[in-house]
Structure 1
Amino acid sequence: MTAPTARVRTQESKRIHVVMRDASLLEGSIYIAEDMSLVAFLGNRKGGYMNMVDARRPKLQEAPGHLIVQTDLVVMVSAPDGNVIVVGQAGAGAGEREVEVYLIGGKSLRGVMYVAPMQRMSDYLHHCGKFVGIARAVFTADNAEIGDIAVNTSAIAMIREAKPVGQGE
């Protein structure tokens, strides 16, 4: 008789960009399970710490190395290669809502959150935990596209539901 085998989740190195509360940028890679969303990954770090490999602070022209980052101090995370799931399957199955997100410090984003049609946004934010996913995000000041991102909910000052682009203000 053979012993049951546990399913081993394969982890892959994925490149990410991280914006910190002090506006510094970090570039590097994380090891994340293929089927895990970035929102879930960030929200489930033991003690709130995330390991990044081949990581650096580009403005300081550092050589890449190993960084340990406190996720409570992270504002947003993107996967520039587009090869990381940002929101899990449950979130992606909900309806889409256009939102404007105003961050602490004055920056604002426009994008899509996957929220059920009649669900209150405050209930959704309470349910999602430390990070929320925003699809097709754009900085509103200059319309710079940043793609799908995970945003720390404690860095959000307010959210406003927006009319889809082209439907007037």
Structure 2
Amino acid sequence: MRIAKVSDQEMLNGLMSVFRAKGYDGASLNELAEATGLKKASLYHRFPGGKKEMTDAVLDYMEGWVHGQIYAVLTDTGKHPAQRLDEALNNLSAVYNGGKEVCLYRSLSMDTGMALFGEKIEQGINQWLAAFVALGKAQKFDDAKAEALAKQAFIEVQGSLVLSKAMDTTEPFKNTLKTIKERYINT
């Protein structure tokens, strides 16, 4: 019998889906193994440090995603700020499945997750904020306004994800992305 191969990306996406849904404390080894398509023994072979090492890997993966899909996009001076923003908002929509998924940082910022991964969560959020600050500065906003808008955008995205989940509709998330675009482009 041939052993099924699971790519690193498939595995990390599977792990991330469980951590998003359950947080660190709620994620069981059975759920993590099932989401990756691996047996528990294979999962432990790849992550001898167990669930903590899996979470670290998922956070590293997400940090790379934020860097490539948000930070690099919003700080790309070779593109017009409106084009950068469109691309970054499309990337946000994709990672949150149009508003159907919750944020990994939010899910892991509860209970044990924050104690274990608070520094990585803070780094990821700060990279996200820095990207939006850079966009604000490209739009000629002063430092204070650029920082305030970046924080507001983050708060609104997170809040809209919670509201979308609670109301079982993606409209709050979609409307938030439109509002962010209008705020940056029409201000």
TM-score surpassing 0.5?
Answer: no
More helix per residue: 2
Larger strand proportion, structure 1 or 2? 1
TM superposition score category, shorter chain reference: under 0.3
Give TM-score scaled by structure 2 length: 0.25
Normalised to the residue count of structure 1, the TM-score between the two structures is 0.26
Larger Rg: 2
